[in-house]
Structures are given as structure tokens and as C-alpha cells.
Amino acid sequence: MPPSLDSAMRPQRRCRTSPKSFMTASLTSVRASSLILASSSGSASRIRTEKDWNGAFNFSSDLGFLADCIANTNGDLTQRLCTAAEIKFYFSSFFIDGGNSNFLRPNINCNLTSWVSGCEPGWACSVGEDQNVNLKDSINVPSRTKSCRPCCEGFFCPQGITCMIPCPLGAYCPRAQLNTSTGVCDPYNYQPPPGQTNHTCGGADRWSDVGTSGEVFCPAGYFCPSTVRRVSCSSGYYCRMGSTTENRCFRKSSCKPNSSSQNITIFGVLLMAFSRHAKG
């Protein structure tokens, strides 16, 4: 079952111990943040078993994205993770107007008088090296405006808040690349702020669902063993949107590389032929 809130969400301070211990502490914080995400988005009620939990948030099988994020943030990953208050603020704002709003309400870090680079989509900031972060705090949004940088791969950073939220498994959250033809940060749909030449494309900027947008999910025809790796589906297998593994086709020859579904027409024909033979 998922770790309890009390055990997983103790205040985290930037670790100065061994790399292995820091990795363990960071993984604990990321899993805690994931639990908050599940609770705030309403998906926790559907995560009933350990298998369900591991299918969505067990990152321990591939910690490459976590190691890269630790290196890219100079070890202050835990200072950049959203608290319960920030995640709840995000979801309460996101679902205004039936989920059609792309903007969050003003808050302590992002408002008319304070708009640091971490307020932009795909970017995030740190609370600072010496400040404790209590992930369980669901009331107070911490001041988080230090050392702003692009969101780490494997996380998403919404516009209007300055923290990072883990992408669940099945999502594909790489670093964005600027499309010079459209000016859009692919594979997402935001643009860098005009006139700020030093502000590059960041990471993922929003959590989406398959029904409204597939831009954060592993695309059909591929599978994503982690939130930062995308692998082409092999011949003889098919991969629907959001797949973390390949699915074997009934007959290998019926699935070409990068298949998103299997061609079952031939099996219908064979079944009809068999039924007619049996009746005869």
C-alpha cells in the first residue's frame, strides 16, 4: 500500500550525507509528493492496492531521472518539490471554469508585483538552502523564489506556481525543445516569455488527462519505462497511449513496429471460418 502521510512527509532538509542516503531521502520526498498529488487530484480513491500504487508512482526501478535532477539542481531537489498547500492550490485553480482555465490565481510567489522566472510554465524555484520544507503542510504556501531554473525531466511545473510535481508513470515528461518554426516549446504547448532571451524552454508545464490532451502522456506506438524515456514499440507488440511496457500481439506478424493497437481483423475471419466449419 502507499506510504502513510505521517511517515512519508516529514520535513526535508537538504542532505549532506552520502549520495546513496541522499538518493533515498529524495525518493522518499518524491513519493510523498506523489501521494499528495493522488489525494488532491481525486485519484487516491482509485489507488487501492500496492499494485495500483506501484503502477503509478513506484520510481525505484529506474532512478536515472532522480539522479539527473539532483545533479542539475545542485542537490536541492527536496527544496523544489510542491507541498500539499501548493498542490491543492494548483488543482483548486485548475478546475475553475470546468477545467478550461490555464491560469492560476495570484499567490505569494506569483502575483502582479512578484513574477519570478519560476512562475513561467515549465520552470521552478527553490525555497533556499537553509529553509525547511514540510511537504505535509496543506495551509501555508512557502516563499519559493530562489535559484529558478527549468523544471527537471520527470516532473511538471505549472504556470503560476514555482514548485515541481512528479509525473506519474505512463506519462512522458522530457525537457522541452523550442520549435523555431512555431515558437512553441515541444512537445508541450507553451511559449517562452517574449523579450527574455535567457529564458529557455523548460520541462512539462501541466498535468493532463487522455481525454483532454495527450501531450504529457507517452504517445501511442511507444512505451515509457520511466517518465523520461520513450522507446519505440517493437514488431509483434503494440503500445497504447500511456504504456509503460509493450503488449504482445496475438500473432506477431499482425503488429508492425510502432503499432498502437493490434489488427484483429484476421482473427475475426478465422473465427467465422471455424464457426462455419463446426456447423457443417
Boundaries of every domain in the chain: 5-186, 222-279
Better-predicted residue by pLDDT, 237 or 133: 237
> Is the pLDDT reported for residue 136 higher than 70?
yes
> Is the pLDDT reported for residue 266 higher than 60?
no
Question: How many C-beta neighbours within 10 Å does residue 258 have?
Answer: 16
Please name the residues in contact with 273: beta carbons below 8 A apart, sequence gap of 6 or more.
Answer: none
Confidence of residue 8 (pLDDT cuts 50, 70, 90): very low
**Tens digit of each residue's pLDDT (9 = 90 or more) over 30-61:** 777 766 766 665 554 444 445 555 666 777 77
Rounded distance, CA 129 to CA 252, Å? 54
Q: What is the reported pLDDT for 28?
A: 73
Q: What is the reported pLDDT for 11?
A: 38
What is the model's pTM?
A: 0.76
> Is the pLDDT reported for residue 135 higher than 80?
yes
Better-predicted residue by pLDDT, 262 or 1: 262
**Tens digit of each residue's pLDDT (9 = 90 or more) over 91-121:** 777 555 555 556 688 999 999 999 999 999 9
Q: Tell me which of 102-106, 151-155, 184-188, 245-249 is least confident.
A: 102-106
As a whole number, the mean pLDDT across the chain is 78
Shortest CA distance to 29 belongs to which of 152, 116, 143, 145?
152
> Is the pLDDT reported for residue 268 higher than 60?
no
Question: How many C-beta neighbours within 10 Å does residue 22 have?
Answer: 18
Q: Give the amino acid at 255.
A: C
Asked if 78 and 126 count as a contact pair (C-beta separation under 8 A), the reply is no
Share of the chain above pLDDT 70, in %: 67
Q: What is the reported pLDDT for 153?
A: 94
> Is the pLDDT reported for residue 67 higher than 50?
yes
